[in-house]
A and B are shown apart, each in its own frame.
Chain A
């Protein structure tokens, strides 16, 4: 990115657009053939592999292979690990775990021992030298640490953030010189207008929409680009991380809770027009709806859609291995290719749809919070 930014912004966009195109076209090929960590053949392995993929990861691996000596070689780059341990912040490079994910490689830093089990960093207890597991495969002598690492998801967020920043600041700069943007800006402008005119304005209302459009635009493009990034063979699954979607949902929650006007709170806490005895019950329901159900539905929907999409695409790709015996290599590959191609197309649609729905519902919730009721509650009685 840094190299890119040194060139003209215009040029870098052309390059990036090309990059995205290339990555998309290579998506299936790369997923099917290159992303394996170890040979994946059986159903169980496929399942584990998929579940591993949709998790966040501490290193950025592009592909791995087994060389002639039978060693696994991983191609990619390690990412820094930053964790909050019992002795404060500790950081090191993830390559020290040597791609081990089941707690057998112990890293010692600042007199503390760390192990990585299923994508989580564990701090071993002081006297332990290796991780012991109980029958359910829970570590007994280690505990999880707060993990602020620059994981793959954080890299994705940073990448998208920088991309968006340069794309939209360049669009903003274009307006200083001319009324109608050219080049990549011509693609971005209708999208911005779409979010403003189709999502923000009708749902929030003419009077207040301006204040929230910035947030809605940011969230829309953030989710959309990350969803699309998830379809590239780089294997990002950022919007399929509960932490990320929860963060987004909580932002919306905070915004509509803070900007809710008197009317909104009256309707939640002391609903006018219903018998007084029912009002506290309604207040509990309304509060739960506003503070729990709305953000929960937001975060779960995005997370589930994207995760499910990834699982389906990868499962269809895995047909190549799982049906190899019954259909033959060519048959299984062909079937997998056709199915995964079409489901990828649908996923491109879903990527947009989920960004749209998240933004739309956020706008709707904000709109409900800032709406001004002109009618008199004593007479309308709802």
Chain B
């Protein structure tokens, strides 16, 4: 039960983080469309790091 609550919290946190990353990346792309490639790469890397963190927490709690 607590595991599930913890998992939910992790997912909420990760979701907020991913939203921030994605949103800011979109803003960046909108502002500088010529930097799309670089922004996407950086976005994916940061998203991957966040994802790793979230998965780590999920599996520690499991």
Contact = CB atoms under 8 A, between A and B. Distances in A.
Direct chain A–B contact by Cβ atoms under 8 Å: yes
A357 B58 contact: no
Given A297-B52, A297-B53, A298-B52, A304 B45 contact: no
Interface residues of B, number: 12
Q: How large is the interface on A (under 10, 10 to 19, 20 to 34, 35 or more residues)?
A: 10 to 19
The prevalent SS among residues of B at the interface is: helix
Contacts of A296: 52, 56
Majority secondary structure, A binding face: helix
Given A304-B55, A357-B45, 20 more contacts: A198-B41, A297-B49, A297-B53, A297-B56, A298-B52, A300-B52, A301-B52, A301-B55, A305-B51, A305-B55, A353-B44, A356-B44, A357-B44, A360-B41, A360-B44, A360-B48, A361-B45, A361-B48, A361-B49, A364-B45
Interface of B: 41, 44-45, 48-49, 51-53, 55-56, 58-59
Contact of B55 (A202, A300, A353, A356): A300
Contacts of A297: 49, 52-53, 56
Nearest to A357: B48
B47 to A, nearest CB: 9
Contacts of A298: 52
Contacts of B56: 296-297, 300
28 contacts: A198-B41, A202-B41, A296-B52, A296-B56, A297-B52, A297-B53, A298-B52, A300-B52, A300-B55, A300-B56, A300-B59, A301-B51, A301-B52, A301-B55, A304-B55, A304-B58, A304-B59, A305-B55, A353-B44, A356-B44, A357-B44, A357-B45, A357-B48, A360-B41, A360-B44, A360-B45, A361-B45, A361-B48
